[in-house]
């Protein structure tokens, strides 16, 4: 059967490439075409897990504050700060620390709402980029820190977040890894002198009389930029795996050994893996499709008039 390729079929071809350029947010995994590559973000673990112990890499994270480029602020000085789990009978129930939002996103962030119904502040980056949206909502029971029968006010309950980030760098065309870097650090949300994620009130934290929440939208660009993700880098980021431990924390104050005796009452582990896969630009495919379509149509037209 003879089939002529028309302008309509070229438009269909183009629409295929346009569709993969749309932003996407989903769980547990999402994939979409960005500036010139396919981007994938996958939640890991899917379903944030309840924590009753600190990870082995806590001690290496304590000296490194996110806002000091992982080299400046030191919370590992024993005379100033100690971090330890409260007795097991004092831990908050897993139902009190809820992952209110936990989604993966790529290309651009579709956004989400906080527990009070207001839109969360999200990064405005677009392109070859991927990350996660996470909101931990703490609703204390009566006897939990910050609860109605507690001696600790809700305003004195903090979020303590530590991060392990493993990044693979290399050639995005061949996928060959040139180097792997692992960093352990405190994500204290822009604070200059405390380890708390919620101490900076510009974004990422709020509370009312009965609950308190923090939200985070970590991400990576292929070109390692914190701004525009519409370019390639040297080297490019091929993949990154983020692992977060977010705890409910109370500073019990000084004792005979330390100035800040911090008790951790439970928390959640969450994270994601972002990967970037190089592919020719959509325009290259589209122009090739147009040329092929016109060539086929013209060839068949000539044959029809013989």
For residue range 122-137, what is the model confidence (pLDDT) as tens digits? 888 999 999 999 999 9
Is residue 191 within 8 Å of 203, Cβ to Cβ? no
**DSSP for residue 279:** -
Residue 15's pLDDT is what?
A: 36
Split into its structural domains, the chain has a count of 1
In a domain? residue 306: no
Please give the average per-residue pLDDT across 81-104, as a whole number: 95
Residue at 50 is within a domain: yes
pTM of the model as a whole: 0.82
pLDDT-based confidence at 275, cuts 50/70/90? very high
What is the total residue count of the chain? 306
Instruction: Look at residue 13 and tell me if it is in a domain.
Output: no
- In a 10 Å sphere around its CB, with 0-12 CB exposed, 13-18 middle and 19+ buried, how is residue 76 labelled? middle
**149 occurs within a structural domain:** yes
DSSP state of 92: P
Percent of the chain as helix, strand, coil, to the nearest 5: 20, 40, 45
Runs of H (alpha helix) within 101-209: none
Cα 260 to Cα 36: distance, rounded to the nearest angstrom: 49
- The torsion region of residue 253 among left (phi > 0), alpha (psi -120 to 50) and beta comes to left
Q: Does 273 reside within a domain? A: yes
In a domain, 10, yes or no: no
Domain membership of residue 223 (yes or no) is: yes
Q: Mind listing the pLDDT tens digit for each residue in 216-230?
A: 999 999 998 877 899
Arithmetic mean of pLDDT over the chain: 82
Range of the domain at 44: 25-281
Token representation of residue 194:
């405390």
Of 225, 209, 195, nearest to 34 by C-alpha is: 225
Has residue 283 got a pLDDT over 90?
no
Inside any domain, residue 169: yes
For the ranges 18-27, 42-51, 65-74, the maximum mean pLDDT occurs at 42-51
189 within 8 A of 94, measured Cβ to Cβ: no
- C-alpha 120/C-alpha 3 separation (Å) is 51
Sign of the C-alpha dihedral computed for residues 217, 64, 137 and 88 taken in this order = positive
């Amino acid at each position: 059967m003879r089939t002529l390729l028309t302008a309509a079929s070229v438009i269909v071809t183009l629409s295929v490439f346009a569709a993969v350029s749309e932003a996407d947010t989903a769980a547990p995994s999402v994939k979409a075409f960005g500036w010139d590559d396919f981007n994938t973000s996958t939640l890991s673990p899917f379903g944030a897990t309840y924590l009753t112990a600190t990870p082995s890499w806590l001690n290496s994270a304590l000296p490194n504050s996110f806002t000091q480029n992982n080299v400046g602020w030191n919370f590992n000085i024993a005379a100033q700060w100690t971090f330890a789990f409260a007795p097991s009978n004092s831990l908050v129930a897993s139902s009190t620390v809820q992952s209110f939002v936990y989604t993966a996103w790529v290309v651009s962030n579709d956004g989400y709402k906080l527990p009070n119904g207001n839109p969360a502040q999200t990064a405005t980056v677009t392109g070859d980029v991927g990350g996660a949206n996470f909101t931990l909502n703490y609703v204390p029971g009566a006897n939990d820190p910050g609860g109605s029968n507690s001696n600790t006010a809700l305003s004195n309950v903090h979020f303590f977040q530590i991060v392990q980030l493993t990044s693979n760098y290399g050639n995005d065309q061949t996928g060959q890894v040139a180097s792997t870097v692992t960093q352990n650090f405190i994500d204290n949300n822009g604070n200059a002198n405390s380890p708390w994620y919620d101490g900076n009130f510009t974004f990422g934290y709020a509370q009312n009389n009965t609950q308190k929440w923090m939200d985070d939208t970590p991400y990576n660009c292929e070109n390692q930029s914190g701004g525009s993700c519409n370019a390639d880098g040297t080297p490019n980021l091929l993949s990154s795996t983020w692992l977060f431990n977010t705890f409910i924390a109370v500073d019990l104050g000084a004792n005979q050994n330390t100035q800040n005796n911090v008790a951790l009452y439970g928390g959640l582990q969450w994270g994601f893996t972002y990967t970037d896969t190089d592919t020719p630009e959509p325009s290259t495919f589209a122009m090739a499709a147009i040329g092929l379509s016109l060539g086929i149509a013209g060839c068949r037209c000539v044959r029809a008039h013989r």
